[in-house]
Chains A and B, each alone.
Chain A
Amino acid sequence: MNAESVATWVGALLTLMIFSFLYRDNAFYKFAEHLFVGVSAAYWMVQGFWQQIIPNLMAKLFPRQFESVVEAARGAAPEYIYAIPLLLGLILLCRLIPSIAWISRWSMAFIIGYTAGTNLPRYLVSDFMIQVEKTLSTPLWNPQATHWLDSVMFFVSGLVIVGGVVCGLIYFFFSKEHTGAFGRASRAGIWVLMVAFGASFGYTVMARISLLIGRISFLRDWIESVFT
């Protein structure tokens, strides 16, 4: 019995423990669930420590002390500017001490400000400006279509895209009463949204079945390994 077969057995038994919930809640399921949460948290913490704290902070501040574990620190000079993120990180930990928890708001402000500053331009360009430009320039005619039906379908698809976007946006415009033509467009927008949510839900079902297939495939391989 080698390490790989032990890992397979542990994985198979934990899978069966999780599946036991389908019959009813029980101690085996609870154990497996808590084990999963604990191991996940520990794994991410260890990864964060060795992939971020050590090479990107400690090795930058004290390269000679960490050159045995961080290749890039060998012969490098200390970069004392990294004392600022070290200080901000320590301030963030003040959150755990109720009497001085308020100090951590400064670090939180820095994090939120930096994230907003880097994300806002990218979201504005990629998710807004380019999307608006491409939607409004949706072609309604395909010059490369060889059959009249292809041209009709292309035209209808373009109308659905542009019309669907406009009607969907109209639904969320609450500064005007949804009556008359505006109300009809809003109703059409609701239908577009419902179809989109339905498609998204269908994809979610497909994803969950795919993961189930993966687990059952794993269990099949485990059972095969037991009998061979």
Chain B
Amino acid sequence: MSVLERLGSLDRRWIFLLIAVAVTIPLLLERPAPTPPSPIVQNLYDAIDALPPGSKLLMSLDFGPSTVPENDPMARGVTRHALSKDLKLYLMTIWATGPPLIASLMEEVVDAEFPDKVYGVDYLNLGYKVGNQGAIQALTSDFKGQYTADVGRGQMHPSRPIDQIPMMDDVRAIRDFDFIVGIGSGFPGLKEWVQFAGDPEDVPVGGGVTAVEAPLLYPYYPQQLAGLMGGLLGAAEYEAALTADFPRFEGPGQQAQIRMFPQTVAHLVIVAFVVLGNISYFATKRRTGR
């Protein structure tokens, strides 16, 4: 058996090991990969950037711990962008796994990088609302009827009735928001925000999804979606756009860009194995005449 033919019957555990090495070594180097924003991500960035200070941005974190590597950099990027532009940031989720992610976002991004922002004035945690697309539909007609109180933030900001929060004074329904950002990884997620909030209420919608779901959402762009971050690459492109305008986020705000380096190396290894596999296949086919 020639070398090429032996490649075709290579134990897949060697491939697993090579992929692990291809990911680990570049990750240890921690160098951000250049990821110029694609038009679909740049459009999302520009749409949020164009909002005047004081605009209301509703961000729904509809993902769980299993997709944090892809979705969390998106949520952090949009949070940094929104608060840098002095937008009013409303955080919510329609996934049961969302609340801890909102809490860590507030702790690790808002508290750490925007200590001047005040809870209840600049940003608000509305928490989890059960009901999937039904919850979104209910919010379109009676937002305060669904969210009767916020979640609060510890003892400094205990949970209050929604009517006592200044940020909620002129919010009655979804259409009172200036932009909706959905960060999601499945059902319910960004698709439901487009179908049940964006299209019927004519509110601009954008967001980010995992790479698995991104192809399902591209048909909505650009008429029904202002822009879309697809997977880790989309998150990295958004970070690139953000750090170009706000250099202070270089470093902590480049997690996705740092991870694109091992991503690229792993892809190259996969492509190499695909090519070798095909060469081995045709070599074997030629030898056996079949």
Q: CB within 8 Å of B: which residues of A?
A: 22-23, 43-44, 47-48, 51-52, 56, 71-72, 118-119, 122-123, 125-127, 130-131, 134, 196, 199-200, 203-207, 209-217, 220
Contacts and interface: CB of A to CB of B under 8 A. Distances in A.
A213 B27 contact: yes
Interface in B106-165: 128, 130-131, 133-134, 137, 148-149, 159, 161
Interface in B57-94: 66-70
B243 interface: no
A147 to B, nearest CB: 16
Interface of B: 13, 16, 19-20, 23-24, 27-28, 66-70, 96-97, 128, 130-131, 133-134, 137, 148-149, 159, 161, 194-196, 199-200, 210-212, 214-215, 219-220, 223-224, 230-233, 259, 262-263, 266-267, 270
A211 B212 CA distance: 12
A77 to B, nearest CB: 15
B215 A210 contact: no
B96 A203 contact: no
A205 to B, nearest CB: 7
Contact of A22 (B16, B70, B133): B16
Question: Interface centre among B149, B211, B230, by most A CB within 10 Å?
Answer: B211
A22 to B, nearest CB: 5
Contacts of B96: 43-44, 47-48, 51
Contacts of B219: 131
B70 A210 contact: yes
Contacts of B196: 122
A131 B233 CA distance: 26
Nearest to A131: B219
B128 A216 contact: no
Contact of B223 (A44, A130, A220): A130
A48 B231 CA distance: 29
Contacts of B230: 203
A209 B16 contact: no
A223 to B, nearest CB: 11
A205 B270 contact: yes
A94 to B, nearest CB: 23
A123 B195 contact: yes
Contacts of B28: 220
Contacts of B137: 118
Contacts of A125: 195, 199-200
Given A204-B211, A209-B266, A51 B128 contact: yes
Question: Interface centre among A119, A130, A196, A203, by most B CB within 10 Å?
Answer: A203
B130 A210 contact: no
Contacts of A206: 211, 231-233, 263, 267
A216 B211 contact: no
A52 B19 CA distance: 43
Contacts of B24: 216, 220
B214 A209 contact: no
B212 A204 contact: yes
Contacts of A48: 96, 130
Question: Interface centre among A118, A203, A209, by most B CB within 10 Å?
Answer: A209
Contacts of B199: 122, 125-126, 130
24 contacts: A22-B13, A43-B97, A48-B96, A51-B128, A51-B130, A56-B130, A71-B148, A72-B149, A122-B195, A123-B195, A130-B199, A130-B224, A204-B211, A204-B212, A205-B270, A209-B267, A210-B69, A210-B232, A212-B20, A213-B259, A213-B263, A214-B69, A216-B262, A217-B27
B263 A216 contact: no
A71 B149 contact: yes
Contact of A209 (B23, B67, B159): B23
Given A211-B70, A213-B263, A52 B130 contact: yes
A206 B262 CA distance: 11
A71 B150 CA distance: 10
B133 A118 contact: yes
B130 to A, nearest CB: 5
Contacts of A71: 148-149, 159, 161
Contact of B69 (A118, A134, A217, A220): A217
B149 A200 contact: no
